[in-house]
Amino acid sequence: MQLTIITDLNKCVGCKSCQVSCKEHNTSGAFGPVPDHTPYQDPDGMWWNRILTMESGEYPNTSVLYLPKACMHCYDAPCVPVCPTGASFKREDNGVVLVDYDSCIGCQLCMWACPYGVREFDEEAGVVKKCTLCIDRIEDETLPEHERQPACVQSCPTHARTFGDLDDPNSEVSRLVAERQGFGLLPELGARPSVHYLPRRPAPSPLDTETLETAMEERY
Amino acid sequence: MRPATPLLVLTIGQGLAGGIIVCLAALMWMGRLTGPEAIVPVLAALGTAAVGGMGSFFHMHNLKAARYVMRRLKTSWLSREALTTAIFGAFLAVLTVWTLFDGAGVSSVGYQTLLVVTAATGVLAMWVTAMLYATIPAVLSWHTPLTVLNLMLVGITSGVAVTAGWVSAVPSLWIGFAILLALTAAVKLLHWTHFLRAHGQIRAETGTGLPFSPYRLQDTGTTKPPYRTQTQVWPLLQPALLRTVKLWTVGWLFVIPLAAVVVWQTGAWGGARWVLPVGAMLGVIAERWLFFADATHSSRVFFVDEPRRAPQVPMTGARKSM
């Protein structure tokens, strides 16, 4: 099993609700706080999920892209083998990459090894922190089943983010990646990220087979 | 990459200590080492190794977990570095005690064996540290065998230069020292070339999925220099600063030590012997600062605008008349 999040870049509007809900949930949850040094003067604190805004192309042919970026929970997570204490580990049962704060020495080598720059150093605690895929939520059996998903997925107003098991070929996330040419970032570095993005391109026809056959019969 | 002081101290100190002991072992093998002359270099090696060790200790920010640092010897070069550096330090400490209390025993088989073993553990520690940096694919500038060659050669060269201040045989071997300097300088230049290539390996196409360039970052996601919580990022160096530090490195690490050893060998100025260790120290500090500060991490694609690139095809200034 490899739990992951798929983000549809066609639907993301850059509202940052996922960024804020991540910070709110994790600061108040089992893995918090996600610290800030001077939160009222300078918002440059720790965020496990950051939304990048990019503009590409030359005027007048320009385009703006919003890219939510958090831990990619890579299949071959480069942050795991470099850790000298075993504090960085990948769970065998669901593929989530986590940090054990009690055995992290704060050497930050995992931050160098991570190709995506999504690990953050907490100077006060002296440990490295990162997205946990809201493991405390998704394994909390006291929550209703539809709420057992990461805070960023649940808060997305456009439903751009989908949570599921990428190793299950019948899951929604696997279907989206297969049908919509989902891609991972920086594939050339060989980390095999499980988090995928759906490219901004015209979506395939939403018609199912039956509707399509009916339409074809009517036309021809 | 952020040039963290503990890492500068660790890599410089460990390289110097290893280089000094390798130099002493080479001099012993050539029969040019005397007991009294070995005392100061061995003490200097122990001192730099101790300072380097303290540097690595203080790079840990959660000391309560330090006891777990060798848990991942199977996969982590940092675990291996902790082990090999400790072994080198232990042998070096024994060697120092032996040298201090039995300086005349340099020619004994026991001392010579200990010196060779200490030099071997020093080389092993330098190699493991270099591999730690060279095996990180995300740091595009370091992910090359040149990193290993560079760190080991700079360590040995600086160690030899420091030893030369106290061991009179080194200047008479100035041709060997010149060859070592030339080899190190060549590797350093190749390494800098690789650093330049690494700058150009940042690709918006694969980093963001954007199908066309150039791209401009409008918001990096509530983060900005000096990236307090993301220490793998460091603002791009200004070209003037980069040029100055490179010139400083070449001057102090290669040109001035070579000139000093030649001047000293000719006997024109005896004070030239002290230029060697001072020059090497100044040069190696600049070299190591640049090693970190100029290194390109793949995540830079998420923090820095794409550089504008000129067309790669030949262009004419004006339309040719038909």
The pLDDT tens digits for B29-71 are 888 888 788 899 999 999 999 999 888 888 899 999 999 999 9
- State which residue of chain B sits closest to A108, comparing Cα positions: B231
Whether pLDDT at B321 is above 70: no
DSSP A5: E
Percent over 70 (pLDDT), chain A: 96
Would you call the peptide bond into B226 cis, given omega within 30 degrees of 0 as the criterion? Answer: yes
- What is the token pair recorded at A99? 């940090």
| pTM score above 0.80 | yes
Residues of chain B with Cβ-Cβ distance to A83 below 8 Å are 72, 76, 78
* B176 located within any domain: yes
- State which residue of chain A sits closest to B227, comparing Cα positions: A44
* pLDDT tens digits for range A142-186: 999 989 999 999 999 999 999 999 999 999 999 999 999 999 999
- Residue type at A128 in one-letter notation: V
* B151 located within any domain: yes
Give B295→chain A minimum CA distance, Å: 11
Give B12→chain A minimum CA distance, Å: 18
Beta strands in chain A (DSSP E): 3-8, 50-58, 61-69, 88-90, 97-99, 120-122, 127-129, 161-165, 196-198
pLDDT reported for residue A151? 95
- Residue type at B69 in one-letter notation: V
* B308 located within any domain: no
Which candidate in B67, B229, B298, B308 is best for mutational testing of the A interface (most A CBs within 10 A)?
Answer: B229
* B102 located within any domain: yes
Give me the CATH number covering residue B50. 1.20.1630.10
* B320 located within any domain: no
Residues of chain A with Cβ-Cβ distance to B302 below 8 Å are 52, 69, 116-117
**A54 inside 8 A of chain B by CB:** yes
Task: ipTM value, please give it.
Answer: 0.88
* B222 located within any domain: no
Give the mean pLDDT of chain A. Answer: 90
CB atoms within 10 A of CB B179: 11
Are the Cβ atoms of B66 and A126 closer than 8 angstroms? no
* B310 located within any domain: no
Provide the domain limits for residue B173.
5-60+71-208+227-302
Residues of chain B with Cβ-Cβ distance to A108 below 8 Å are 231-232
Whether pLDDT at A109 is above 90: yes
Beta strands in A126-214 (DSSP E): 127-129, 161-165, 196-198
Are the Cβ atoms of A117 and B137 closer than 8 angstroms? no
Q: Specify whether the CB–CB gap between A163 and A155 falls below 8 A.
A: no
Rounded to whole angstroms, the Cα distance separating B10 from B16 reads 10
According to DSSP, the residues that pair with A97 across neighbouring strands are A90
pLDDT reported for residue B322? 43
* B216 located within any domain: no
Residues of chain B with Cβ-Cβ distance to A85 below 8 Å are 65, 68-69, 71-72, 79
* Cα atoms found within 13 Å of the Cα of residue B167, Cβ hemisphere only: 30
- Domain A3-73+132-219, classified CATH 3.40.50.720, yes or no: no
Question: For residue B200, which of B140, B243, B245, B143 has the smallest C-alpha distance?
Answer: B140
- What is the token pair recorded at A5? 């999040």
Are the Cβ atoms of A105 and B71 closer than 8 angstroms? no
Rounded to whole angstroms, the Cα distance separating B46 from B9 reads 14
Are the Cβ atoms of B217 and A53 closer than 8 angstroms? yes
For B208, which of A37, A67, A123 is closest by C-beta distance?
A: A67
The position carrying tokens 């410089």 is: B12
- State which residue of chain A sits closest to B83, comparing Cα positions: A84
Rounded to whole angstroms, the Cα distance separating B264 from B266 reads 5
What is the total count of domains within chain B? 1
Would you call the peptide bond into B277 cis, given omega within 30 degrees of 0 as the criterion? Answer: no
For B231, which of A50, A81, A111 is closest by C-beta distance?
A: A111
* For chain A, domain boundaries: 3-73+132-219
